[in-house]
Each structure stands twice: as C-alpha cells, then as structure tokens.
Amino acid sequence: MIPWIELDRTAIPGDGGELRLKQRGQEFSIMLGANELMNSRLSGSEEALATLAVERIAGIRQPRLLIGGLGMGFTLRAALAVLGPDAEVTVAELVPAVIAWARGPMAGIYKGSLDDRRVTVHEGDVGAVIGGSIARFDAILLDVDNGPDGLTRTENDGLYSLSGLAASRAALRPGGVLAVWSSAPDDAFTRRLKQAGFDAEARTVRAHKRSGARHTIWLATRKGA
C-alpha cells in the first residue's frame, strides 16, 4: 500500500480550521481535521452539480455562472464541457492555497480549465460576490461546505439562511438556478428554499458516477421577475 504524503496545509480565513492536501500515488485528498472534504477519485456528484444546473438554463445566450468553491475543479470542468463558447464562469475561492494547489501539484486534474478564456477566478468569499450582485447570474453553484451549514467556516451559515438565500435570488436573473451540493439530505433546507422564493427540488446523485455514497443536490429556480 502506497502511504499518504502531506504536501501542504493552510488555514481557512476566519475561524475555519486548517486544510491539508495529501497525495498517494496519483490520488489526492483535501482534509479538514478528520473529515475528507474531497478526493480526486470521487467526482461524480461534483460534476452533476454542474451538468444538472446547466440543463436548467439550456438555450440562454451568453450564460453567466458563479461557482462557489474551486475544490478539485470537477464542477468547473464539467460546466465548461457542456457550456458554449459564449459563456462566462466566475469561480470564487476563499482559500488562496487551494488556487495555488490547482496550479501546482494538482494541475493535472484541472487539465488547463483555469486558463480557459471563459473562466475568471475570484480569490475571495462567494457570499460577498453574491451580495454585491443584482440579476447578474443565470446560475449559482455552491459547493463550499458538506451541506447547508457552515462546516468549513461558521460564516458560511449565512449562505443558507433566509437572508442569504434572498441574496442569491437577487443575484440571479429571472428563471436563474441556485444549485447546492450536500453530503446528505435536509428537508428543512428544501422548505427554506421555497420560503425564499424558489421552486426547489432535491436530487440524489452518486459520489462516483453510478456507485459510491449518495449525495444531494438542490436545484432551485428563481420564481418571479
């Protein structure tokens, strides 16, 4: 068995603890304490976050997407694969080291996606991007925690509150989609999305294509003008 090697560690801004990047052969893992946040072998649900959201906005000319959380780039790559050449994708990543890892030891996983002319990388809080935007995006994709609570940093709780969801709704164009990744279902969050003015449904997807753990993706379409 090839042992894990720790390549780097970095603090999450705020009181979010510490991320560790580990490698074993060609496999990478990003850990928060004892929790594995992501693994390079498991990309199915992160890819589904993109493909399911983009399906909802098919036919829109020059679509604008905001992805919250760079992770290992699986959501970004999947989005680019199904979007046309006129799309604009902003990726907001709070932790500078994650961007450095993407351009450094994990560059092979990203396959040049960060250099795609459709992509802009914003180093900062996705909540701030959302809060500073009015009718700017056709889709907002959030994968910044293990679900609708602030696992990585308590400040992220605001993204999933009624006020945070109202900000996401305001940042979307009419008919726009908010997609949220979670490691587990949460009926209360589905109800909260509906309270905030979305038509919402929770979809179950697999961590690794058609196998592996079951994850949840909320697809919430903005109602009204």
pLDDT in tens, 161-203: 999 999 999 999 999 999 999 988 999 999 999 999 999 999 9
Residue whose structure tokens are 């997807």: 205
Instruction: Tally the C-alpha atoms within 13 A of residue 89's C-alpha that lie toward its C-beta.
Output: 29
pLDDT at position 145: 79
User: 3-state class of 75 per DSSP?
Assistant: helix
Q: Is the pLDDT of residue 80 over 80?
A: yes
Instruction: Average the pLDDT over each of 59-68, 130-139, 153-162, 214-223 and give the range with the smallest value.
Output: 153-162
What is the share, in percent, of the chain residues with pLDDT greater than 70? 95
In the chain, beta strands by DSSP E: 5-11, 18-24, 27-32, 35-39, 64-68, 88-93, 119-123, 137-142, 172-182, 198-208, 211-222
- Whether 202 and 218 have beta carbons less than 8 Å apart is answered as yes
| Predicted pLDDT at 152 | 46
Instruction: Tell me which amino acid residue 116 is.
Output: D
Residue carrying structure tokens 């003015």 = 197
Residue 209 banded pLDDT, cuts 50, 70, 90: low
The mean per-residue pLDDT over the stretch 39-58 comes to: 94
| Residue 153 confidence (pLDDT) | 43
Which band of pLDDT confidence, cut at 50, 70 and 90, is reported for residue 151?
very low
